[in-house]
Homo-oligomer: A and B are copies of this chain.
């Protein structure tokens, strides 16, 4: 029986979940994995919280040096979040020869090159399954199961808070503000929800996932980002009628012309497997040249699901040798000559308010065709106050053309006004 000592830095939701799983399954892991995993140290500012979880007083360390010098500890779990002191703690742990398991997406996204170099230097493992999509094993799948494929695209619903909010807005027709308040009450959204609702969280995760998928570091600064704060329930309703569901998508594509990476609200065809990923569930839809399409679905957050990913990494680390997961090849930047496509192609949904006057529609249509934008579907609602609500779905076209078109129409606002533009994934 192999003995494995673990330290947990930060007993918040994820750290607490990992602690609970490890302690409750100790006999199970002895029996089935031949591993005796024990928590030998923690760092937690809130002493009471640590004690209430049943952690012995003597195992609560006052500083990272105590963890690093404790020879009973083999693996350090970092679940503090944020950059400091997490980064210093991780580096100190690696420099003292301990492998690290982290759930910290911001830290890993921004400093993986630095952490991986130090891990490599010290011959330690560095594992980060818990940084993305909770208990859903996307990272391991990319590294150990789809690694024979050229991945051409990944499309993910990878933030639980925004998916919860959009699902409720879809189900009840409520406004963003009202649903956010409810989500905060229920603990699905934080008091300061910016990181989730503005798409930063999804951007960090997409940076990590697309870096692995496309075999080059994708700096998060290259990722186009648009959150859900501006989503209008009217569009959700119109989309529904056209057979689409609104989701905050993280999209990564790699092809001959380069790489495109973006996070924004989008309409998904209701028959697409991603369309039925609701509430706080998450999913990642991957396309590879061998495997074709694969979707991984599950809980994208929460104490036990994310704790499950932490524990998976601990057991993997304890049972595998020489796997340092230096996947991004320790670079800070993308490989030389990597081209990022900003003027990407997509289908679009546009909602316009059009003057109820003969000839207006044909004038608008001619503006579309001037920009080479084909229209695949039109839905018109009843006029009110001399204005006709008009919804259009375009064929695949360039982002910049759509932007120019919208600017042009909205410059005069004489014949019509574009109220919303939403990208469409079919």
Q: Are A21 and B148 in contact (CB under 8 A)?
A: yes
A375 to chain B, nearest CB (A): 29
Residues of B within 8 A of A145 (CB): 129, 137, 140-141, 309, 312
Cα of A316 to Cα of B215 in the assembled complex, Å: 17
| Residues on the B chain within 8 Å of A337, using CB | none
CA distance A298 to B295 in the complex (A): 6
Given known pairs A276-B273, A305-B291, A305-B292, the reply for A316 and B144 (CB within 8 Å) is yes
Supposing A312-B146, A315-B148, A320-B320 touch, asked if A299 and B291 sit within 8 A by C-beta, the answer is yes
> 16 extra interchain contacts, Cβ-Cβ under 8 A, other than A137-B141, A140-B141, A276-B276?
A21-B290, A25-B150, A135-B292, A136-B294, A140-B144, A144-B316, A146-B308, A146-B312, A148-B312, A273-B273, A290-B307, A290-B308, A292-B299, A294-B296, A294-B298, A320-B321
Contact of A295 among B134, B288, B297 (CB under 8 A): B297
Oligomer: number of copies: 2
Closest to A149 in B: B308
With the chains together, A305 CA to B149 CA distance in Å? 10
Any chain B CB within 8 A of the CB of A377? no
Q: How far is the CA of A281 from the CA of B304 in the complex (A)?
A: 29
Residues of A26-80 contacting chain B, CB below 8 A: 28-29, 31-33
Asked if A178 lies at the interface with its beta carbon under 8 angstroms from chain B, I say no
Q: Roughly how many angstroms separate A297 CA and B277 CA in the complex, as a whole number?
A: 13
B297 touches A148 (CB 8 A): no
- Please indicate the chain B residues that have their CB under 8 angstroms from the CB of A380 in the complex: none
- Chain A window 319-335, contacts with chain B (Cβ cutoff 8 Å), 1 for yes, 0 for no: 11111000000000000
Q: How far is the CA of A234 from the CA of B51 in the complex (A)?
A: 61
Given A135-B294, A137-B146, A298-B293, answer yes or no on A32-B321 (Cβ-Cβ < 8 Å). no
B residues less than 8 Å from A276 (CB atoms): 271, 273, 276
Which residue of chain B has its CB nearest to the CB of A275?
A: B276
Residue numbers in B under 8 Å from A298 (CB-CB) = 291-295
The 8 A-B pairs at the shortest CB distance, nearest first, are namely A137-B145, A148-B311, A290-B308, A135-B291, A294-B298, A291-B308, A295-B297, A290-B304
Q: How far is the CA of A386 from the CA of B273 in the complex (A)?
A: 44
Does A147 have its Cβ within 8 Å of any Cβ on chain B? Answer: yes
A140 contacts across to B, CB distance below 8 A: 140-141, 144-145
CA distance A155 to B134 in the complex (A): 21
